[in-house]
Amino acid sequence: MWTWFHKLGSPKWFYDISGKLLNFMAPVAALLLIVGAIWGLLYAPADFRQGNSYRIIYIHVPVSVLSLSGYYIMAIAGAIHLIWKMKLAEIAMRSAARMGAGLTFLALVTGSIWGKPTWGTWWVWDARITSELVLLFLYLGIIALYEAYDNKVSASRACAVLALVGTVNIPIIYKSVDWWYSLHQPATIKLTQKSSIDPSMFYPLLIMIVGFYFFYGVALMLNMRTEVLINERKTRWVQDIVERA
């Protein structure tokens, strides 16, 4: 059990195994995304109220969903890094932080773009939107903290602590924002009911969500592999790879 765990921490082992995994995951991600996109953008019926503008959900929803899961991936990596001092976990945490911030930002931007035709305004203080904004701040806080430290060993440990504090807080934040919104819900704007979505719109969405998960995994691994190569550039096995290339 522990030997397995420590092997996981070895950069070379990770590089080999992630190479094999990528060979499988990258095509799957590409396939799912292409199928989902074509189905959703070209073949799914137009919404009877929003026309074609709703099609942005095929990006907006997967990105929004991933941005939250991404935080937990980051926090778990951070915890592993703190407890077992595993270098790989640290790299994973940092990659996840950067990608998470990007995804959250994308969710906000796509949401706003959608909001303009739907609500007639770029922004409203809806519960989900507000939570997403707070999530963006949490990500940015972690990135800013990392950048602020000169000593990068301490930097990643500090970020791990902050990520863990965030993990305890995120459910609380989500719950309280929900509660707040249900109290203050402005009369002018309502999000559509969840259940109203038609299966012919839903299946491509599902495919896109799964596709985005795969894409996330692929991007995370690519990110980590680059970092591993940079960190280990002086070791034999990396120089072997460089020579072969």
Partner 1 sequence: MNASQNLSLLKGLSATLKRELTLLWRRKSDSLNPLLFLVVVCSLFPLGVSPEPKVLAMLAPGIIWVVALLACLLSTESMFRSDFDDGALELFLLNPQSLYFHSLVKVLAHWLLTGVPLALLSPIIALLLNLPVAGIPVLIMSLLIGTASLVFIGAIGSALTVGLRRGGVLLSLIVLPLYVPVLIFGADAVKRAAEGAAVPGQLAILLAFFMLSFALAPLAVAGALRISVDS
Write out the residues near ligand HEM by the rule CB under 6 A.
Answer: 57, 60-61, 64-65, 68, 107-108, 111-112, 114-115, 118, 128-129, 131-132, 191-192, 194, 197
225 and 72 Cβ atoms separated by less than 8 Å = no
Nearer to partner 1, 126 or 227 (CB): 126
146 and 156 Cβ atoms separated by less than 8 Å = yes
Six-digit token pair at 97?
A: 């932080």
Which of partner 1, ligand HEM, none binds 64 (CB below 5-8 Å, type-dependent)? ligand HEM
CA atoms of 22 and 27, how far apart (whole Å): 8
CA atoms of 96 and 224, how far apart (whole Å): 9
Of 45-53, 142-150, 197-205, 221-229, the segment contacting partner 1 by CB under 8 A is 142-150
- When asked if residue 190 is in the footprint of partner 1 (CB under 8 A), the reply is no
The residue within the footprint of partner 1, chosen from 188, 193, 195, 196 (CB under 8 A), is: 188
Nearest approach, Cβ of residue 108 and partner 1 (Å): 10
- 3 state SS of 47: strand
Nearer to partner 1, 44 or 80 (CB): 80
* Residue 48 CB burial class (10 angstroms; 0-12, 13-18, ≥19): exposed
Spatial neighbors of 101 by CB under 8 A, at least 6 apart, are 136, 139, 140, 143
Chain residues that interact with partner 1, rule: CB under 8 A: 82, 121-125, 130, 133-134, 137-138, 140-141, 144-145, 147-151, 153-155, 157-158, 161-162, 164-166, 168-169, 172-173, 175-177, 179-181, 183-184, 186, 188
